[in-house]
Every structure is written in C-alpha cells, then in structure tokens.
Structure 1
C-alpha cells in the first residue's frame, strides 16, 4: 500500500511538472502551454509571459539608426487576463525625426478538440494615435479565450541614439524567461544600469572585431556584444508606502556618455555638474528668473520689509508669499516659468512660486539657494551623473544663523521649515552657481504624531457615550487641515478620524485649525452602539483605528517600505462601567518591538478601581524608510496591531 501511494505521488508530481515545462527557446507554441490552467510559481496570476526576446543594435543598413527586434509569447489563463492581450507601443518623435515601426505580426493560438488553431492579426486591426511628443501604436489579439497563447513580434527603428532601448524585465504579470541582446559599437560609450533586485541569470559581454563598417571612410569598428537573461521573474505588485514603482522594477537602462567620432573627436552627451550648473544658470525659464530680484522690490508690506534680518522676518516673508500667490497644480520647472505672469495672475507653477520667494529673500539680504528635486511619484534621482529630465520639482534652502531650512510656499498648511509630503524623496540637488552644486538629504526631522484621548461611560444596555480629543501634529496635521477644508461637516467624523463601525458622533469642534505652527485638535461627542450579547457586554474600547487593515499583504517585498517620515500613535482610553456591574475579563497586555529598536507596540490594560479601566495603545515607527529585510517583521507587527484594534474586548457582567 505504501509503495502504491508513493507511485501515485510520483505520477502526480510528474504530471504537474510536465504542465509547467514551457518552451523558452523561441516563439513555437506547444500543446503543454495551451493546456496549462495555472502558473505554479504565482497561483494568483491571470496571465504571464512564457518567452520574451529583444535584440537592439546600430544598423548600417538603416542609416546607422538604432534598430530593435522584439518578440514575445504570453499565456492568458482567464478572462481577467484579457487586458494583457492589448499591446501598446510608444514611438518617440521630435520635429522631423521619429521612430518607426515595421513588420508587426500577431497570432492567437487556441485548442479546439485537441487541435491547435491559429488566428492572425490583420492590418486593419492595428491603430495609431498621434500625440505631440509620441505616437501610440496599439492592437488587441483576435479570438481571445481563456487558455489562449499569444505570440507577437515587430521591429522598431529609432534615430535617437541617446535613448538606447530600455529593456523591461519586470512588468505587472510574471515572466518565465526574458532575454535582451545588444550590439553596440565600441566607440559609443554608454552608462549601463541594472535596476531592480532580481539577479541576472546570464550577464555576458564579448568584443566582436570589426563588426560595423563606415563605407564613406572604409573604416570598421569593433562592437561590444551583450546578452542579459532573467528567469522566473515575479510580477511587480504595488503596495502602500511606495515612492515610485519605476525606482525598483527590474530593467536595463542606458545613458549615452560620449561618442568617439571617426576623426578622433570625442562628442560628449552626458555632462558633469559644472557644465550643467552653467546651463541652468543661463536657462531662460529657470536661471534668468532667479536673477530677476528687481521684480521682488516693493512687494512686501512696509511692516515686514522694515524689520531687521531675523528668523521672525523670514517666517513672515514665507507666509506673505503663501497667502498672496497660489500654486496652480503644475510643476514645469524648466519651462513656462515667468514671474511677470505670477505677479499679474497671483497664480503659477511650483518654480514660479518658489523663485518669487527666493528673489524676495535675496532682495532682503537673506542667504537662499534653489534646490532641484523629484516628487515621490516621479522617481529617485540619478546621482552618478546629471540627468536633468529626472527633476520635476523646485524648493529652496534658507541659511540663517548657522541653521538651514527647506522651504516650499506652494501649500497653505505647510509650516516654515517643512516641505510637502510629495517632495519627501530622499535627496535633492542644491544649486550654487557661485561655488558648486551638491546633494542634500530631504528626510524631515522629528516625528508626526496622532494622539487620541477618549473618556467613555458604558451603560447597562451595552451602549456607551463620552468624548474624544484627537491631536494631529506634523504631516498628519497638514493632512487633517486639508481634509477639514475639503470635507463636508457630516462626513468629517468618518473620513478624518477613521471610526470603528460601532462609533458615532453628534458634535464636532476644533482647535488651532488655522494656527499651523501648532498641532490641530479635533473633538467629538461619542456614542457607541450596543455591544451586549445575552447577559454580557463585550466592549471594544477602540472607537477609532490607526489603520483600516494591514497594509502589508505580500509574501515577499523586494522594495523599501518608504513612510516618508517617522510616525507615532497614542491611544489613551478611560472607561467607566455601569453601576452594579463588574469586570469579568480584560485583554492581555502586549509588548512588541521591531529589530534594531526601529519600532514598538505597547498595549496596556489596567483596572484603576472596580469601576474604571485605563487602556493605552502606543505605536512607534521611528524610521522614515525601512529596507526590504524589515518587511516580514513589519507585516507581523501590523497584524498584531489589527488584532489589538479589532479583537480586544473588555467583558462586563451585571452583578447578581
């Protein structure tokens, strides 16, 4: 019997393995690929790539343009995977120069009564949408059905040698096999970056002698022939506390540094920061506007301009700009920056707002410098060499009495010395045209906190009533003030304070709503629905939650957990039970700590006397960003917090 069970297990294992034995050598579709109903390495996948291959090179038969051949084979597992059957190809263009697409082929493979059937894409099913800076070519595979295998290929030709083809190993669905091959003349010097955490299975380079000829001079050049392969690539799944997915998705990127021409002249494409500083200083929209301090004259009220240089005056100048000039929601740091328009319209983009602030400070004798940065959603900046296209934001650094302050006057509720949450992206470039620009850190100091203090009386019918005072500081205060401006009165309780289902409020009041130098306080009258079951009251003391759910659900996270700023939460609750009742049971106290003292969770329940219970839950996350190695600990940490919030009950019984 044991031998029979072992044989049965081996047969099942062999069958499973056979279903997952895909052809990763070419576009040929196999019977095994068509009958597969699941991708075993990711059972949640609705579709996945079986095979993907690309080849980019400079083609002497195409006027030495960059030519890329692309081919792929992907499996559609169910109807939810149909969205992956639409292919979009973006073609860059600039003036008369544009990328071209040719030889598009696409075929849908399906099984019918055990036989493989094919349906080919026809030219009328290919669409082109023209835009100002690019064209979009798209098509959707015909004859879709769950289980289909889709095969397609095309050739792209590009005159833009600076933008060598980026190869995306990782996408929103898994890939079994992805290969990228390049052949680059040795006189083309690119900086090549592998981005992402998945290791290359193959990373080979070899020199090919005289691979390319230049007929006009009968000259031949050597080439560097490279091959990159990654297998079993997981889908990239976005989760909370992520800056930009493009910081971490597996890919190969190229930045052209220089080209050595046939006559030996070296043409540089990637410049150093000294050269870039000079370009920015001469830039019409940015550099020249920073010099127009004359437009800042006579803008300040006499009551501010007449003050001696001091921190108090710096704050009043900051508040003056915030109060009188509004951000229009645009960035445009290298274009459409015009102080004349800002002064006229009282509204402008990020650069205009903060350049005006810069020029007023400079005109008043303060030491202030512009800072180029990138928003969290735009991606992390390259530090090895300047890539101006990566910058999309501008803030300021003010230096006064040995202290430095980062400033951004675009937000109503951002305090002096803080920058908006969208700008908290690790580091930025401080521009100093007189000396030399340098990198500076953007991590905020201190913690942003939420403190809740509830005083609750439980009634004999299981209902409860009382008061809640909630204090928000730092970035939490900015968020709450914006919510109070944008939310109707009847929705504030649910949208600002995140109550549990059993909690209601009949009255709301505020403190320091406009005084942004202080934390903002929101107060509620509380009413709780009955939590009585039979003759026992099961009272959950948490009328509010710090988090709706555990934000960490992945089995593994390969990118950092970026909170933006350190956080702390305190929930203190005083509970009075009904007369002629006694406490039967209280939750157990808990203490949890993250590795290296980077966070803690305290949950303490104590009887003050026979009728009063004090509950305290304190959460601390002391890092603005956690490395991926912390993920399992944070996941468990948050899971415990969810259990405490949702599953802690004080059991109360009426005395006999």
Structure 2
C-alpha cells in the first residue's frame, strides 16, 4: 500500500509540474525554478524542459524557396556539472552565392532572488560570438549569462536557409532528460520527402494537410494613355496549393546514458530526418534522389577537391630529393608521410575541401584537414603509388542516414599495397602509419579513385594494439611489495601514450600514471620513443605497493597480479541499447614474477584457466606456476573486434565478470 501511495504522489508531482508549465518564451514559473532535482532522473545535471522546432518553406520572387526554422529551448540547470548545457552552437553554412541567415536571437537566464522573486538576466552581445571554421561554415557560439545551480536558461532564434536539399535532423533525445519536445515540419505539396528515423524510442508522426495561399505582385508599365508615358501598374495574383504538416509530440524522453565504451552517443539518440526525393512543380519536375556514388562524384568534381589532387608543381623538387634512390613502395610511403607530418601543422579545422588550397597551405606550413591530407594523396600519387582520398564522417559528426554531401566532414589518405590498404592521417603528430585517432573511426569511409569511381572501405584496424607488461616483484617483511615494471605499447596504445605524456613534465607524468593504481607509489620512471614514431613506446618504473596483500591468522593472502588486476566491471547496466565501441582491437600481455619471502610455503595457488567469448570476439588465459620460492604468472587478454553489437552485451558482461573474479583470486602462503 505504501508503494502504491508513493507512486501516486510521484505521478501527481510530475503531472502537476507539467501542467504548471507555460511553454511560451519568457513564461518561466517559480515551480520550475524551485525544482531541486529531476523528478524521474534525480542524477541528471540538467534537463530540457521544452524543445520546440518549427520549419516551413517560404517563397520569394527574388530568391525562390527558402527553409525557415524557428528554434526554442528551455533548460533547467541542477548542478555545476550541468553548466555546459548553458552553451549552444549554431551552424551557418554558405557557398559562393548563398548563405544561411540567423535572425531574432534572444535569450534569458532565470533564477530566484533571496526574496523569492523570479529574476532574469538578458543575453547580451558579449555572450554571442562567431567563429569561422571553414570557408563554408561559420559557427555562432552562445554563452548564457549568470548561470548558477537551479537556474533556467532559454533561448530562441530563426534560421533562414536557401539550402533546401539539406535539412537538419530533428533531435528528440539527448544525454539529459527531455520533458517535452515538439516538432512541426511544413512542406508544400510540390516537395516529396522520405523520412528516416533513428533510435529505439518509438514515436508517431501525425500528418495534416491544409490549403495555403501565396500572393505574387507584378509591376508593369501602362502604355494605353495619351502619349504612352508608361505609368507603373501593380497587379497581384494568388496561388493556392496544399501544404503538408508533419507533427511530433513526445513527453518524458529518458536520457541516453553514457556507458563504458560508448563511442559517439549521437549515433544512437532518437531522431528524425527528412530527405527530399523530388520536386513536382506545375509544368516541371526534378528528382533529387541520389546515391553515395553521386555524392562522391559531386565532391570529386569540385575544384577544391579533385583539381587540388592534380597539383604537384609546388612540391616536385622536394619530393624528388626526398625519394632519391628509394624504390620500395613501403619506404616511399614512410618518407612521404613523415615528411608531410613534420612540415604541416593542422589548424584545428575539419573539412574534406581545401581551405587555403594545397599550394598555399604548403607554402604556409599549415592548413585544414582537406589541405593536408589531399596534399598527402597528391604526393603519394606523384610517387607512382595507388593512393586515393577517403571521405569520413567523424564520430562527433554522426553517421548519415541517407546519401548526402553533408554526410561527410573529414578526409584521409589511403594507399593500396599487395598486403592490403593502409590508411593515413597527416594531421595527427603522434600517429604512426596505419593508426587513426579514435574520433575519426566511425563506420566506413568512402574511397574515391581517379576516375571518380567510389566504394566503401572499413576504417577499423584489424591489427590489435598491444600492451605488454613484465613485472618483477619481491614480497617484503612489512607485507609491502617492491619491484620494477617494464611496459611496451604499440599501435593505438602507443598513440595514446604519446598524446597524453609527451607534453607533461616528470612530476605530472608520475601523477598521471599513479591515478589508476591503488596503494601503489612509483619512482625512477622513464619513457622511450615518445618523440620517435615508428617505434613502440616503452615505459619503466620502480614501484612499492601494499595493494592485494593481507595477513589473516598468520597466513598471507596475495593477489598475484598485484595492482595490475582489474577491480571493477566497466559494464554495469542490465541491458545495453547500443554497440560497445572499443575503438580498436586490443591485446594485453602480462608476465609477473614474484619472489616469496623466506620462511613461507605455498599452501594454494589459483587454478589455470582459459576461456573465450562469442565467435572469437574475446579470449582470456591465466597460467600460474611455482618454481621453488618463485611464482610466475602469465596472463593474456584479447578483444578481437573493435565494435561489438548490443546483442553480444550479455556475453561481454559475463566475460568481464569471469576475468575480474580470476584476477582477484589469491595465493595463500603459510609459515614453513
């Protein structure tokens, strides 16, 4: 009875808050401001109280059709960690003759004053600034004023866009709760759309049709009077057509929670996108249905892409000198890749088109992704290698739901060799040949050849990153363990260590290394090859640890993996709705040698074990042996696929449970 009563009270509380809300801009209630935590998700740092998006097509006799979209968002901030949701970014696109227009931007921050009254602070010009990311994209950044715990922020604006073929997706879910979301998309009967849905939260699209009237004015010269002076005469005519409305209303959309190895959650949030299939105007019609082959050809034929690949007069002498006497393809790739890597500096901007142009970028020594990696492709082709650009949508950009130029935002280089295709990205100073940063490994890439033919290629490496560790330890009379550890990292592990530790001083490196080690102190550490690409990164250090050792009734209980043992299962949720993204295949190898103290004998040691998971998805092997007063443990752990489907989650979770249980088993020593 008590449970039913609490449930009823909670329902009434939520229902009362929802009913008390006024979704008009500027009508924030005191009840909303008094709310200390989200009623259905108390752990949420923020929540979207209301999101409204309205889009319709408007026609001008001067500029033709434009898409006008009105945005309105109201967000509750519960904690300091939620302050990030008080910032927003608006993307505005342009080409050589047209551009998006941002209009009517307004915003307020609301809070309760000490006397309990609702106060507001207006968004000023100093909270809005523009950042030009490429020649085709400008971002308007919004930072709401006077943000504090418990406040509510809201903002609204309109975008008028001439790019009616590229309609932004309507996002219905976020990583924070969404209390109410409203979408209205209006389209004239002449425009025929397909809709594409993403995510697993079901939603219904309601449709309505109504008549719409547009009035056109026409001015002509009246030449019928005496003298034919030509008096201007204005006439108007009405055009009537049907307008289709698509309506979505959702309430209480749960947050998409970030779990271990999530990748980009935006790939899995519930969303809707419209694709224009064709336009059927009176007297004419045109199909806009396209394929990825069409998209690739369009990109390749742009001067900022295909023409730039054909330029080589700016680097010929340098590459001729670089490759003098070099005949092997692998050596050519290595020399050209590291030459571009050392000469060019990435300016931080993505894009598959050049921004500076490869010649100017080469002269300056810097450029965007397109400048640098298209230059790399041109140099590899100059060296008679089968090199081609590969278009990518990065993780932050998401995975496109249908063929569109806007589906890509990045480009890398590829080279075909008899042993396979090598992928290269010369914007990352710490990346070796064939190693891509995890942020660009997102689905497949589109490879485009010289003749314009294109095909999909996998971006995921089949070569595992390897982490090898040898630990030699001695058990001390005070029940501490001292020793030395040697580590060796290859592939993406080496890339991660270079990126993280190369810029840190000695003290900061030690602090960073000790973060994940329980009751363990490090000293005398040294790195090798942090600055030398093409070689494994090595790390050695002395350690002293009290972790994993207990004295119970005169017997010693020791975890043979010491501080290397996995303590906690990263997979805690009962159910997983989206894939597990490890980023790359991986392999861990540990060899642990422990010298036991005099006066003790081994009473028991863990059993040897080997087990696997799925169809070669993962494996684990644990082998321990004793020779006199020395123990040796060998552990091998492998994840063979970088992306694991949600349907394999239960098996993965169990795999880690078994692994953790094994790594925390004890050796038992008793006095001899």
Whether the TM-score (by the shorter chain) exceeds 0.5 is: yes
CA contact (8 A) 1:67 1:156 kept: yes
Aligned to 1:224, the other structure's residue is in SS state strand
1:75 deviates by 6.6
Check whether the contact 2:620–2:637 (CA below 8 A) recurs between aligned residues. yes
Asked if the contact 1:354–1:395 (Cα under 8 Å) also holds between the matched residues in 2, the reply is yes
Cα contact 2:472–2:485 (8 A) shared by 1: yes
CA distance in structure 2 between the aligned counterparts of 1:119 and 1:239, rounded to whole angstroms? 37
Deviations 1:243-268 (A, max 9, x none): 33332222223344554445425485
Structure 1: distance between partners of 2:282 and 2:154: 38
Q: CA offset at residue 638 of structure 1? A: 4.2
> Is 1:248–2:268 an aligned residue pair?
yes
TM-score normalized by the length of structure 2: 0.78
Select which of 179, 183, 186 maps to 2:182.
179
Spell out, residue by residue over 1:483-508, the C-alpha distance to the aligned partner (whole angstroms, 9 max, x if none): 55333345545545876334344444
Distance 2:265 2:418 in 1: 40
SS at match of 1:359: helix
Q: Structure 1 residues 470 and 544, CA, compared in 2 at 3 Å: closer, same or farther?
A: farther
Unaligned runs of at least 5 residues, structure 2: 24-28, 132-137, 217-235
RMSD across aligned positions (CA): 4.5
Give the equivalent residue in structure 2 for 1:457.
Answer: 474
2:252 maps to 1:235: no
What SS does the corresponding residue of 2:313 show, helix, strand or coil?
helix
Confirm or deny that 1:169 pairs with 2:172.
yes
* Map of 1:488 onto structure 2: 505
For 1:284-363, list aligned pairs within 5 A.
Answer: 284-300=303-319, 302=321, 304-308=323-327, 310-363=329-382
2:102 matched residue in structure 1: 99
1:3 aligns with none
How far 1:580 moved relative to its partner? 1.2
User: Pick from 226, 229, 233: which aligns with 2:246?
Assistant: 226
**1:77-131 alpha-carbon deviations (Å, 9 max, x no partner):** x566985995868485867862333898998899x9xxxx984758788987252
Secondary structure at 1:428 match in 2: strand
1:85-164 counterparts in 2 under 5 A? Answer: 90=90, 92=92, 98-101=101-104, 119=118, 129-131=128-130, 133=138, 156=158, 158-160=160-162, 162=164, 164=167
Is 1:414 the counterpart of 2:431? The answer is: yes
**Compared CA separation, residues 538 and 403, structure 1 to 2 (3 A):** closer
* Whole-Å separation in 1 of the counterparts to 2:469 and 2:398: 35
- Displacement of 1:303 in angstroms is 7.3
The CA distance in 1 between the partners of 2:338 and 2:213, in whole Å, is 62
Q: How much does 1:42 deviate? A: 2.3
Cα distance between partner residues in 2 of 1:317 and 1:89: 38
Offset, 1:566: 1.0
Contact in 2 for aligned 1:106/1:152 (Cα 8 Å): yes
How far apart, CA to CA, are the structure 2 residues paired with 1:479 and 1:183? Answer: 47
Contact 1:191/1:257, CA 8 A, preserved across alignment: yes
Where do residues 396-415 of structure 1 align in structure 2 (5 Å cutoff)? 396-401=413-418, 403-415=420-432
Cα distance change on mapping 1:118 and 1:627 into 2, 3 Å: farther
Distance 2:330 2:211 in 1: 66
Distance in 2 separating the partners of 1:515 and 1:37: 52
- Output one character per residue of 1:56-78: Cα deviation in whole Å (capped at 9) or x when no partner: 334679997655566777777x5
2:204 is aligned with 1:205: no
Stretches of structure 1 lacking an aligned partner (at least 5 in a row): 1-5
CA contact (8 A) 2:51 2:180 kept: yes
Q: CA deviation at 1:442?
A: 1.0
Instruction: Give the secondary-structure state (helix, strand or coil) at the position aligned to 1:315.
Output: helix
| Cα distance in 2 between the residues matched to 1:608 and 1:543 | 17
What residue number does 1:539 align with? 558
- In the TM superposition, residue 452 of structure 1 has moved relative to its aligned partner by 1.3
Give CA-to-partner distance per residue, 1:173-231, whole Å, 9 cap, x none: 3134433232211212344332322121x22334x253444556533222222222334
Q: Given the alignment, which residue of 622, 627, 650 partners 2:640?
A: 622
Does the residue aligned with 1:286 lie in a helix, a strand or coil?
Answer: helix
Give the direction of change, closer, same or farther, for the CA distance of 1:105–1:460 in structure 2 (3 Å limit).
closer
In 2, are the aligned partners of 1:71 and 1:151 still within 8 Å (CA)? no
- CA deviations on 1:550-595 (whole Å, 9 max, x unpaired) are 4445565433221111112122212121111123454566666444
Q: CA deviation at 1:40?
A: 5.2
Residues 123, 145 of structure 2: 8 Å contact kept = no
User: Contact between 2:485 and 2:542, CA under 8 Å: does it hold in 1?
Assistant: yes
Equivalent pairs counted in the alignment come to: 634
Q: Render the CA deviation track for 1:16-63: whole Å, top value 9, x for unaligned.
A: 433333575794599998997765542323554566555433467999
> Aligned to 1:20, which of 11, 14, 20?
14
Cα distance between partner residues in 1 of 2:8 and 2:322: 85
Kept after mapping to 1: 8 A contact 2:187/2:243: yes
Structure 1 residues 242 and 81: CA distance shift in structure 2, 3 A:
closer
**Deviation, structure 1 residue 624:** 0.6
Query: Are residues 347 and 469 of structure 1, via their aligned partners in 2, closer, same or farther at CA, if it must alter by over 3 Å?
Result: same
Q: CA deviation at 1:396?
A: 1.7
Structure 1: distance between partners of 2:268 and 2:87? 23
Assess, with a 3 A threshold, how the Cα gap between structure 1 residues 39 and 636 changes in structure 2: closer, same or farther: farther
Equivalent pair of 2:90/2:139 in contact (CA under 8 Å): yes
What is the CA distance between 1:292 and its match in structure 2? 0.9
CA contact (8 A) 1:171 1:236 kept: yes
1:26–1:211: structure 2 CA closer, same or farther, 3 Å change rule? farther
State the 1:444 CA deviation. 0.7
Give the corresponding residue for 1:42: 41
Q: Does the CA contact (< 8 Å) of 2:309 and 2:377 recur in 1?
A: yes
Q: d(CA) in 2 for partners of 1:68 and 1:353?
A: 35
